[in-house]
A and B are shown apart, each in its own frame.
Chain A
Amino acid sequence: MMMDHRQNHIDSLRAGLSLLVYPLQLAVEMPGAVSEWFRESLATRRQLQEENASLRTQMLMLKARGQKLQALETENIRLRELLDSAFMIGERVLVAELMSVDLDPYKHQVLINKGELDKIYPGQPILDADGVMGQVVHVGPYTSTAILITDTSHALPVQVNRNGIRTIALGSGTINRLELPYIPNNADIQPGDLLVTSGLGGRFPPGYPVAVVQGVQHDPGRSFAAVVATPSAKLNRSREILLVWPGDTSTLETSSTGQTEAPLPPEEQLVAPEEAAATTEENP
């Protein structure tokens, strides 16, 4: 047990053993999968037409946005080239599904139907359509386990999208709440602010939405404000998720400068911890 907790020696053992329980997981998954299959194959023509139409409009809207995004992306790359820094936009992603299996109810974990054979690795970020969901912790041959950002053992470096204040979002153990305990009382943060990943840990790609600030409480007796936020990802409702390979842009365009391996420009990485320290020291 200590070995599992502290080191990674028996990760391979766990991966091998997880092959043993894969049939059980599949068996539990089956009723849901079968009913889903029935629902899809027995859907009426009208339902399919309606779904098709709504998807079409949605795609049109997304396409229109995409056009704009492309223009912005090229402009962004051009400007960054002017600043002489390498920056990558777009990462390799893989769509996976959650298996309908219950894990330990006191941990926020999910089981994903992709594993080592799909080149999933521990620590890989997972997203859904609306934001960051969590990261992979154990990888088996066909399945992998991920913890959600609201698990009490999870912390995520974020920044406020509006003004770039960096902080850390901790899981609260409640599925719709994140805590931001390290924000100084005088920091400029208000309800409604969008928090995005800052990419400072090197694990999550920068710029993905994480949560929306819900409430800020200033207690003069304490040095930090009590800030809570609501995750933007549908943590307990999404079934389709995205697995991201940060920094791997093999399928997408990259900027032409040579430093493509670094997920962040090096100078930004160097400056950041000091700045973060400075912000925490500012408090009265």
Chain B
Amino acid sequence: MILGRRHGGGIIAVTFVIALLLTIAPLPDSVRYLRPDWVGLVLIYWCLAVPDRVGVGTGWGMGLLVDLLTGSLLGQHAMALAVVAFLTLKLHLRVRLFPVWQQALTVLVLLILHQLLSLWVSRFIGRPGPPFSYWAPSLLGMFIWPFIYIALRSLRRGFRIS
């Protein structure tokens, strides 16, 4: 266990890089607003799976990169993702035992929290409220959670990351 501690850090980094790429990959205008929160999903998974390696610091750093990539206020997503990571760490022992659909509901709550904190900051600096479709990415995130979970779990088992 101690020998294997650093094992697979590269794989975790690669999944985050892919999530960041998907965050800014150009999409047609009609589906732009539906882009799920890839970084949030990947972060939640790794916080559940290897809570001693991926945590609040990782969440904050990834959030900062998201801020830079999407041109939002520096720290907006960093704060939100750090809070999401913190809550996931708090809940990880319970959520791990849930069946996948119940996990998906928990993920929905966490993703909505991410968006809510981010929205709170942007309202605070005087931007207008978004339309109702603003919340669609969280719902979509809930529906794709099982796939993310299965894909990353097989990745984790394949590379024996613990």
The interface of chain A, by Cβ under 8 A from chain B, is 1, 4-5, 10, 13-14, 17-18, 20-21, 24-25, 27-28, 32, 100-107, 109, 111, 137-138, 145, 152-153, 173, 236
Task: State whether B126 touches A101 (Cβ < 8 A).
Answer: no
Q: Taking CB as reference atom, which chain B residue is nearest A146?
A: B71
Measured in the bound complex, the distance between the Cα atoms of B65 and A20 in whole Å is: 8
Do A100 and B26 have beta carbons less than 8 Å apart?
yes
Chain A's interface: helix, strand, loop or mixed, by majority? mixed
A-B contact pairs, 9 of them (CB 8 A): A1-B74, A1-B79, A10-B74, A20-B65, A101-B24, A102-B27, A103-B71, A104-B71, A107-B72
Contact of A105 among B33, B64, B75, B125 (CB under 8 A): B33
* B6 adjacent to chain A (CB < 8 Å): no
Q: Say how far A22's CB is from chain B's closest CB, in angstroms.
A: 10
- Taken together as a complex, chains A and B put the C-alpha atoms of A145 and B33 apart, in Å, by 20
Number of interface residues of B (CB under 8 A): 31
A1 to B33 CA separation, bound complex (whole angstroms): 24
Interface presence of B17 (CB below 8 A): yes
- B residues in contact (CB < 8 Å) with A: 17, 20-21, 24-27, 29, 32-33, 35, 64-65, 68-76, 79, 121-122, 125-128, 130, 134
- Cα distance, A137 to B145, chains bound together (Å): 36
Kindly list chain B residues whose C-beta atoms are within 8 Å of the C-beta of A1: 73-76, 79, 121
- Known contacts A24-B65, A105-B33; can you find 11 more A-B pairs with CB under 8 A? A1-B76, A14-B68, A21-B69, A25-B24, A28-B24, A28-B25, A100-B26, A101-B26, A103-B69, A153-B127, A236-B29
- Of the candidates A24, A27, A32, A102, the one whose C-beta lies within 8 Å of that of B32 is A102
Residues of A within 8 A of B68 (CB): 14, 17-18, 20-21
Among A13, A103, A236, residue most surrounded by chain B Cβ atoms (within 10 Å): A103
